[in-house]
Structure 1
Amino acid sequence: MDLPGTHNGEPGRRRGLRRRRALVAIVAALAVIGGGTWAAWGTLGPVVARFTESDDYEGTGTGAVDVRIASGDSGRTIGANLAEAGVVKSSSAFVAASRAQPKMAGIQPGTYRLKEHMSAAAAVSLLLDPAAKVTTRLTVPEGLTVKQVLALVEKTVGLPAADLEKALADPVALGLPAAANGNAEGYLFPATYSVNPGESAADVLKAMVTQANAELTNLGVPPERMHDVVVEASIAQKEARSAEDMAKVTRVLDNRIAIGMPLQLDSTVSYAVGATGKVTTTAAQRATDSPYNTYLHPGLPAGPISNPGADALRAALSPADGTWLYFVTVDLQTGETRFATTIAEHNANVALFQQYLKDHPEQ
């Protein structure tokens, strides 16, 4: 015997189940969309719980507060740090305000000068203002010597020369590998660094050494070859401009060493006498008794003569195939370099360089 309504019960339950499943699907889809938005800015965590106006300050704030955002910081972490510093009232307010500003996905690590007791929206807006970032951008070009790097850091960052020299005197603290023999030359990797307020001279130089160690590790340079690889790379960095020519330069070095032929490099002599900006040397300079004088001493110089970049390191690790024994840059403006196997070929190339110097006496 059927009771009233029994024949419609099962279909009704199915419809209700379908409605609940549809609702769950919509919520799940929104969660995925939200997660995708956060994923564009590191790992910012799940959807933030609702907050009330009491969780947020009003206005643009007062005073000044420096807050550092580290690489990999999530939105929730940044919000918590801002709240702890007294910039915003709560992490939840900051994360909610960040979600409303898509450009926050591109926020960069660094130190930002904000204010106390800002509304979360005002804090987000100021973080996106380039003027709020007080991190100094330090770009170290390839081929500078340690002395030149220190001068650049002093000028760009404002760290005293005495502090930088003191930091160099502690190779263990800098993290220099054993192959460096306590000498930072060759291990201050050329790159762009972010220097935050309060960082010491040791912090800045250690970042460069850390990057050099990482590059050498990534290239698979074995510890027993590290010294020679960095020395050859430092020479290639000074003698050539393109990655292709650097690989040819290191082949010339290896070919000469293999037959006991002195390297006779003006670049190493210039380093020995402190004339790193010169492309030629005098007879008196070439007679200087220095372990870096490759006219007087066979084999590689005592150590690196510059701080090489990745291309030069790769060139030293994998020289080009060839029988060249000579090279000379024949155009200092374009960097065109000629390679030769015989002395006759080389002399012809040297004549081109000499003509270039006559045509460009200012160089």
Structure 2
Amino acid sequence: MTDPAAPVPFPDPEPGQPGQRRADRGGRRADRGGRRSAGRGRGRSGCLPILAVIAVFAVLAWIFVPRAWDSVSGVFAGPEDFPGPGSGKVTVVIDSGQTIRSMGAELTDQGVVASTDAFVDAAAENPKAQRIQAGTYVMKKEMAAADAVAYLADPGNMRATRTVTIPEGSRLAQIVDTVAAKSDFTKAQLGRLLEQPGKIGLPAEAEGNPEGYLFPATYELPDDLTPKALFSEMVALTASVEKELQVPAGARALDLTPHELMTVASILEHEVNRPQDYPKVARVIYNRLDLGMPLQMDSTVAYVSQREGDPWTTAEERESDSLYNTYQHQGLPPGPIGSPGRQTIRAALHPAAGDWLYFVADFENGGTLFAESYSEHQSNVARVQEYCQTSDDC
């Protein structure tokens, strides 16, 4: 986005399926016999179509009845749930004031339970669910919802260990500051370790830069934890999420490398703050790349200037020669500009369908205004400018 108070920097791309009478016993007996034989023949051939129809119905029933039963039983089977008992380790933080449904949504996102509805239903059947306390819990992945509710409802399972939470989109410097503030590690210790990325298991795709590869999540800080162990856990979680979301295959389908895909996801974290807008902004990025247009993302410029607190950049900032300046350089920046979370990675993998090339923050309604043409974008910017003249929201 660009400063609505400044000249709009976006160029116009200008693109372009018993009835028979008794006969005498002599000469006609053979005829009667013949007719009787013929009558029997007609009886058999008349039965054959009926048998064929029955056979067809039998085959159809054999094919479709099980499927219909599966569909009906699926309706009454209840929400998706894991059989349990689960495996692995996930640190879950329950905040004060969280609802049962929001807990279920968070547990689903972290892979602890299969669905929010399964957790909500299990909580409704467990009277102790209302006693779940805010705190930190170490749980397993793929737990049965009833087991997850019972685990959280037991105060003895709450961990007293210190934790540190890395928000989505956090930049490397911000992660260092956050970890240093929550632990006994110094910024100098953490900085020296990050200058030796091989020690924390950084993947080759990162090309030695840990930016974007320290996954945003909540981590435990036991007394015996080392900086190396903490950063290694963050890198390992990034690799785990990439595998979970099938980033390599998804990136290939978009003609990107995994590193480029993570770069796009990191840009989404800083350009908009509503999950429903992430796939649309991803589409804007891909549309611009396809047309050879510069991305002109203020988020990448702010990464260079370390601007915080607002989404705008100045004309001076946009004159930087840094390769991260997507006003001056075409294509994606060299790497991520922060640590993307699951939602933005998914959005980068699955962009919305559309021809949008521009977007600007809609401060009045709390969303984003998208446009396919430059003239439409100018109208949106004028609308935002008018609102910002009389509002402190901008």
Q: Report the TM-score when normalising by structure 1.
A: 0.63
Return the offset for 1:107. 10
Q: Which has the higher contact order (CA 8 A, sep 6+)?
A: 2
1:249–1:41 distance in 2 versus 1, CA, 3 Å: closer
Contact 2:300 2:337 in 1 (8 A): yes
Cα 1:284/1:107, change in 2 over 3 Å = closer
The structure-2 alpha-carbon separation of the partners of 1:174 and 1:353, relative to structure 1 and needing over 3 Å to count, comes to farther
| Partner residue of 2:187 out of 157, 161, 176 | 161
Q: Which residue of 2 aligns with 1:128?
A: 156
Correspondence for 1:227: 259
Alignment-derived partner of residue 381 in structure 2: 350
Check the 8 A contact 1:330/1:350 in 2, yes or no. Answer: no
Contact 1:235 1:305 in 2 (8 A): yes
- Partner AA of 1:339 in structure 2: F
Distance 1:345 1:173, change over 3 A: same
Kindly state the Cα deviation for residue 255 of structure 1 after the two structures are TM-superposed: 0.4
The aligned amino acid for 1:359 is T
Q: What whole-Å deviation, never above 9, does each CA across 1:233-281 have from its counterpart, x for those lacking one?
A: 0001111223321111111011001111111111111111111433111
Opposite residue 269 of structure 2, the aligned amino acid is: Q
Give, in whole Å, the separation in 2 of the partners of 1:107 and 1:281.
Answer: 38
Secondary structure at the aligned position of 2:337 is classed as coil
Q: Are the equivalent residues in 1 in contact too, given 2:363–2:393 (CA < 8 A)?
A: no
Amino acid at match of 2:226: S
CA distance in 1, matches of 2:228, 2:361: 37
Matched residue of 1:355: which SS?
helix
Q: How does 1:226-265 map to 2 (within 5 A)?
A: 226-265=258-297
Specify the SS of the correspondent of 2:198.
helix
Q: Deviations over 1:9-38 (max 9, x none)?
A: xxxxxxxxxxxxxxxxxxxxxxxxxxxxxx
Decide whether aligned partners of structure 1 residues 360 and 159 sit closer, same or farther in structure 2, where only a CA change above 3 A counts: farther
Distance 2:348 2:136 in 1: 37
- The aligned counterpart of 2:361 is 329
Please, which runs of 5 or more residues in structure 1 have no aligned partner?
Answer: 1-38, 44-69, 73-102, 111-126
Matched, 1:171 2:197: yes
Amino acid corresponding to residue 224 of structure 2 in structure 1: G
Structure 1 counterpart of 2:172: 146
Tell me what 2:344 maps to.
312
Matched position secondary structure for 2:265: helix
1:286 lines up with 2:284 in the alignment: no
Provide the rounded CA distance (Å) in 2 between the counterparts of 1:336 and 1:137.
33
- The alignment of Structure 1 onto Structure 2 pairs a total of residues equal to 248
Change (3 A) 1:335 1:196: farther
Further displaced range: 222-231 or 164-173: 222-231
The gaps in structure 2 that reach 5 residues or longer are 1-82, 91-130, 140-154
**1:113-156 deviation per Cα after TM superposition (whole angstroms, max 9, x unaligned):** xxxxxxxxxxxxxx9396xx541121111111111111111111
2:136, 2:160 within 8 Å by CA — same for their partners in 1?
A: no
Q: Distance in 1 between matches of 2:136 and 2:274?
A: 34
Aligned residues: percent identity?
40
Counterpart-to-counterpart distance in 2, 1:129 and 1:212: 26
* Structure 1: distance between partners of 2:187 and 2:181: 9
Task: Give RMSD over aligned pairs.
Answer: 2.9
Question: Is it true that 1:272 corresponds to 2:300 in the alignment?
Answer: no
Structure 1 residues 210 and 350 mapped into 2: Cα distance closer, same or farther (>3 Å)? Answer: same
Instruction: Give the Cα–Cα distance (whole angstroms) in 1 for the partners of residues 157 and 279 of structure 2.
Output: 44
Displacement of 1:41 after TM fit?
A: 8.7
Structure number with greater Rg is 2
With normalisation by structure 2, the TM-score equals 0.58
**Helix, strand or coil: the match of 2:316?**
helix
The structure-2 alpha-carbon separation of the partners of 1:356 and 1:170, relative to structure 1 and needing over 3 Å to count, comes to: farther
Counterpart in 1 of 2:26? none
Paired residue secondary structure (1:305): coil
- Measured in 2, the distance between the counterparts of 1:362 and 1:158 equals 38
1:183 aligned to which of 209, 222, 230: 209
Provide the secondary structure at the position in 2 that maps to 1:222: helix
Q: Is the 8 A contact 2:274 2:367 kept in 1?
A: no
